[in-house]
Structure 1
């Protein structure tokens, strides 16, 4: 699940604990183009305060107006879950800002003890994928740990199935089943300047971030709000984290003593992304070390993205951070990346073109490719 959706659940629980009534809104179906995908969450309080979103804003405004005029009962008559559909006609789609004739369907669920938000949030914070099932006729909720393909008895439910859960949401008009996974994690090896820029942007993307660096001279003045800084050896941090399919690991130190062992553990885990900074030559030597001295298989080495990042001509630390995060997000979203988009192949192709044109200096830069 996205961090923003976990924030919605946490805010809704806070409202309940403070004595406020509220409604949880879930996008369950979309037709055509729509601003938010199925599974997106929003909560609205009895005074019209909202958190999260289900559209570009117009549907939120309409729900707020209904609550302020007629109370939460306007959304959930008889205190039971209800279904609302927006954008059925072209006129209504335009009114609610739904592009290209889009239509979306919402389930509106009154919140209370039977919502079981505290239990759900606790499971998600333990990194357990959880199936939440809502009976629309009664408002009752059941929770169960989601067993995933390939899980065994000891690991079932402890991690998500890649970044997109199988059967993440199912709605048949009578019940809503929503599989929610834990937050995306990012483990960063190295607390240098590049790491600072990368983590600053990654926090805005909703990653749960840990930076590990045992070198005192690098970590002494390193701080990014919301990021956990570990002084342990990177391989110990990776082993303790037990990377799952919602974990990315990126090594940024250029130091084999710090990077290599951590990369070995990451490449042998289900982590959806494993990358390493460094020039093409350094990455070639790294692959040779990992194969020759540590016995990594061709399949495991094929998972290593190095030089990490997409080729955008980056030269400065902020640009390199953007390049790496763009690749991580693309992999997370399941976007197929052509080889020429990666830093290494793109630089090689550019150098070949430059050599053919007798262009001096092509391929010069900060040494990440």
Structure 2
């Protein structure tokens, strides 16, 4: 789930604990263009305070005005629509005549928000079923392939776990990468067995471990919500970890290095028990071509490619570093603070 939606749940739990009336608003359907996707959430307190977003702002303004004028009086969930007419679409800032349908749920202890957050802290993938007639809530483990569902009787939403990112190598680039990835709601682990690189390395909310990278890859049991990025330039650290990651269900596996170094890496990996199809999953040279040169720019380049892969953007729409134009004889020797 997105970090902003996690903050919505945390804020809602705090309001409930303090005895304040509040509502949870969830986008359940859109037509035409819509600023926020299905599943996006917003919470509103009885004083008009909001956290989260369901539109570009105009629908939020209307929700706030209604709460300030009439308070929060719902006792059961309600489905409401915005943008049915062209005038409403214009009024609420919905482009191209878009329409958005929302589920508005009054929250209380029976909403089980605190229990949901506790399960998310344990990195569980949770299915939350809301009875649209009574407001009763059931929590259960989400089965594989589960998706958000809305029917006449109930709304089922999915929550957690956060996407996971394993970064191999503790350095300046990994610091920027970890900071940005954390803000994007990744649960980030940085692995580096070299004490001299770990000394002084710290990013709030990021776990730093010293085990061998391939052992960490195995222990993490990488799934389709996991990504691995190797940044050490050291085959002794990167290669075995990449081999294990490429055999896993991780949706993204990438390694820093020039085209020449990546070519040599691929030759080495083929000597292990990797298939050509598994090796083809390796992103290297890592990142999208955006002319990046500084560590912060390279981190953005890497996360741009990672995000495009996660979102299923067709490869034909992207220009990876491996396909970027290079002048004859201009192959770059990659270092962590240089071009990817």
- TM-score by length of structure 1 reads 0.86
Establish whether residue 225 from structure 1 lines up as the match of residue 204 from structure 2.
yes
| Cα distance in 2 for residues equivalent to 1:340 and 1:106 | 34
Does 260-269 or 334-343 show the bigger shift?
334-343
- Structure 2 SS opposite 1:338: helix
Q: Distance in 1 between matches of 2:157 and 2:11?
A: 19
Report deviation, 1:339.
Answer: 8.5
Equivalent residues in 2 for 1:228-243, closer than 5 Å? 228-243=207-222
**Counterpart contact for 2:226–2:252, Cα < 8 Å:** yes
- Bigger drift between 98-107 and 5-14 goes to 5-14
- The within-5 A match list for 1:280-359 is 280-292=259-271, 294-338=272-316, 341-346=319-324, 350-351=325-326, 354-355=327-328
Q: How many aligned positions are there?
A: 337
How far, CA to CA, are the matches of 2:282 and 2:58 in structure 1? 43
CA offset digits 1:91-144 (Å, max 9, x no partner): 111111111111101000111222122332233333332221111111111222
Inter-CA distance 280–26: structure 2 relative to 1 (3 Å threshold): same
Equivalent residue, structure 2, for 1:152: none
d(CA) in 1 for partners of 2:140, 2:294: 47
Once the two structures are overlaid, the 10-residue window that deviates more, 21-30 or 226-235, is: 226-235
What are the equivalent positions in structure 2 for 1:52-63 lying under 5 Å apart?
A: 52-63=52-63
Return the alpha-carbon distance in structure 1 between the equivalents of residues 35 and 171 of structure 2: 37
| Match of residue 9 from structure 1 | 9
Mapped to 1, the partners of 2:285 and 2:334 lie a distance apart of 12
Q: CA deviation at 1:251?
A: 0.5
Change (3 A) 1:133 1:40: same
The partner residue of 2:231 within 252, 266, 278 is 252
Does the aligned pair in 2 maintain the 1:235–1:261 contact within 8 Å?
A: yes
State whether structure 2 residue 46 is matched by structure 1 residue 46. Answer: yes
Closer/same/farther in 2, CA of residues 340 and 170 from structure 1, 3 Å limit: closer
Is contact 1:190–1:213 with CA below 8 Å preserved after alignment? Answer: yes
Deviation for aligned residue 1:262: 1.7
Structure 2 Cα separation of the partners of residues 364 and 284 of structure 1: 14
User: Deviations for 1:163-195, whole angstroms, at most 9, x for unmatched residues?
Assistant: xxx5x2222233211123311111111111111
TM-score between both structures, scaled by the size of structure 2: 0.93
Kept in 1, the 8 Å contact 2:258–2:333? The answer is no
CA contact (8 A) 1:245 1:272 kept: yes
Instruction: Report the equivalent of 2:32.
Output: 32
Cα 1:249–1:364 change in 2 (3 A) is: closer
Give me the whole-angstrom Cα distance separating, in 2, the residues matched to 1:273 and 1:3.
20
Per the TM alignment, residue 208 of structure 1 is displaced from its structure 2 partner at its CA by 1.6
RMSD of Structure 2 on Structure 1 (CA): 1.9
Q: CA deviation at 1:23?
A: 0.7
Shift of 1:366: 4.2
Residues 316, 366 of structure 1: 8 Å contact kept: no
Quick one: structure 1 residues 26 and 339, their matched pair in 2 at CA, closer, same or farther if it must change by over 3 Å? closer
1:187 maps onto 2:183 in alignment: no
Could you say which residue in structure 2 is the equivalent of 1:96? 92
Structure 1: unaligned runs, 5 residues or longer: 149-160, 356-360
Q: How far, CA to CA, are the matches of 1:334 and 1:146 in structure 2?
A: 22
Counterpart check, 1:269 vs 2:265: no
Q: Taking structure 1 as reference, are residues 268 and 366 closer, same or farther at Cα in structure 2, changes over 3 Å only?
A: closer
Q: Match of 1:140? A: 136
Answer yes or no: is the 8 Å Cα contact 1:84–1:108 preserved in 2.
Answer: yes
State how far apart, in whole Å, the 2-side matches of 1:284 and 1:132 are: 47
In the alignment, which residue of structure 1 is the partner of 2:18? 18
Matches within 5 A, 1:43-192: 43-73=43-73, 76=74, 79-148=75-144, 161=145, 166=146, 168-192=147-171
